[in-house]
Structures are given as structure tokens and as C-alpha cells.
Structure 1
């Protein structure tokens, strides 16, 4: 995202204030902190800016895969949360059932001691689907590993199973994760 440094500084301050005020939740996070799922109800300035960016990204991604999708017939339902992973913290393999889009915004991505530190890995849980392949075609790979960077907004279908490699840095890795879906309006 453009001008991510100023937004990230604001979001980091808001995230650390939330962490100080809440014990958090236990979900896929291991040795880390996970806020309540109320990000889209937050009114802090950085949260409001990121909420708008996420909704715009969902609209763009949805139109890319379904150009005739009529947003006027739907409401967007969303949940989001903050993850803080200290050294050794990770997110275990999981997916996000009952949602359409999932994603993550990267507030702080420290450089770790190991190359895979903090990377996100997506993998195909189907068995025996890779009997044939095309050399060099990522779409046939059984897994996909991505190195995020601060200011990146990543979106993916919620059914994709994924996990986050351990943070091998002494600096916290801070992200804001989210899920969105469409609910048809009553009059539609």
C-alpha cells in the first residue's frame, strides 16, 4: 500500500495499546497474542483507514473473479483481529470456514535469523491431485511460500489452508488478519 509507513506506525501504536489492555484469545497462534475479532468495529484512526482499504481490496478481488457481481444486493460482513508474534511465535495450520475472503495486512515484519522466518505458506490438502504437472507452473505446486513485507495487504480464498513460520527475530511480527463474506440484502 502507498504511504504504508505512516499507517503502520499508527496501527502499531494502536495494536500495542490493545495488547496491553486485553489478555487476547487462543486460536491458531502459538506463543503469540491474538486480539478479539472486533477489528471492523474499532474506531481508532489507523483501524478506520485500514478497514476502508480492506473493503476496497475485497471489491476489486471480487470483481476480478466475478465481473458481474452486483454489490448493491449484498452487505459485506467482516471480522478481523491483531496478531503479535514474538520470537518463536507462529500460527499453526488452519483455514477460515464459513467465509469467502481471508487476508492479512502486515504492520511489522522483522528480518529473522532464518530465511523462512515469518513467511506464510499455503498448501493443497487434497491427495493425489499432482499426478501430472507442468514444469515451472506454480498453480500445480502442492504448496506456495510467500515472504511478506510491511505494508503488504494479502488476500486469498478462505478455504486455503495455511500457516505462518516461526518468527526468528527479537522484534515482534505484527499483523492484522481478517475474514469477509457477502450476505444478501433482505429486499434483494
Structure 2
């Protein structure tokens, strides 16, 4: 009996360099650390909200203006997002997906980003700047999970497309893209070194 897969959840993974000139990860990391050191408003927000490490999400909205490398990064991300939108077969009505937010994440040893999604956006994603040995992957959750009220658990050897949670371990220079409704989290960073990434949202219209 043939069995079809319906309502597939797509995850895009590529090297940044596949859609433009290479972005120097060392320069990008230096820029992230410099901004984090100077961003007193962001530091204060993290402290007030018990946020581990640092994020510029609540403090800075102009990274592309502050450092040329972020402007270059945004140009490359625009191309990746356009490629993913094509794969998703979106009918955008002649309007491109546009960058809404872009922010820095620095996750120290013991830090976590709890499970969340990105409402009001279309595509979300992260590019990875520093991933020391032992640092955490990103975990995605089956979006049907809240509706599986009486379902038994999946076997430990279930295929990836049948699992409730999927862990993805990106490399420096990778970009991951997903639809913004997909719930995800970053488990505890077990490395003594910082995990550095840049995340972003794209909106339509």
C-alpha cells in the first residue's frame, strides 16, 4: 500500500559562500564581540531578563550600518532566503521577502536558548560564526507535537523525518533557514568557549 508524506517541513542548510562572496568568519566574530562589548543597552537588557551571555536582539537594529561586514552578510542572506522561498513555492505576488531583524547571539558555557518560535515573520534563520568543540546543536520540534495527545513515543531508531525532535549541528560558515512558525531551541552549551551566531527574520510585503 503506497504511503504519501503530507505537509512536509523544510529545513534549508547551505554554506554562506554558495550565494555570494565568502564572509570571513574571523572578521565576523571580531565584529560580533566588539559590538557586544560596546553595547551597554544590550548588556543591561540581558542582565535584567536573566538572558545567558549576550544578544543584540533588544538593543540594536542597524548592524548593517555599523559594520560593513554585516552589510555584506545581509546581501548574501537575501540570496539564500530568495532561494529557500523558491523551494517553498511561495506565491509572493511580486514582492520580495525583506529583512526584518538581524541580531548577534553569544552563548557562554552553561547558556541555553529556550524553545521558541518567531511570530509575524515568514522565514527565520541563523548563520554560525563560532562553534567550538562540544558546543550545542540546534533542536527543532515537530510542529504537530501539541496535537499528538494520545500518540505513543517514536522508537529511538526512527528515521529523521519521523522523529519528534531533530538535532542539527551546523559548522562555521553555514546558514540554516526555516519557516518562522517552526519551534526550536539551543540546548545548554557544554563548551568552555562561547558559541557565536547571527540570527535574523524576514517578512513579506
Provide the TM-score with structure 2 as the length reference.
0.75
Verify the 8 A CA contact 1:96 1:159 in the aligned structure 2: yes
Q: 1:139: how far off?
A: 2.5
CA distance in 2, matches of 1:28, 1:140: 36
| Matching residue within 28, 31, 34 for 2:52 | 31
Cα deviation, 1:67-118, whole Å, max 9, x if unaligned, reads: 6544x43461420100001111111111111111110000000012xxxx31
1:116-135 alignment runs, 5 A limit = 117-124=135-142, 125-128=145-148, 131=151
Unaligned runs of at least 5 residues, structure 1: 184-188
Structure 2 partner of 1:10: 27
1:1-188 alignment runs, 5 A limit = 1=15, 2=17, 7-23=24-40, 24=42, 25-26=45-46, 30-35=51-56, 36-38=59-61, 41-66=64-89, 69-70=92-93, 72-74=94-96, 76-112=98-134, 117-124=135-142, 125-128=145-148, 131=151, 136-183=158-205
Moved more, 127-136 or 153-162: 127-136
Give the aligned length: 178
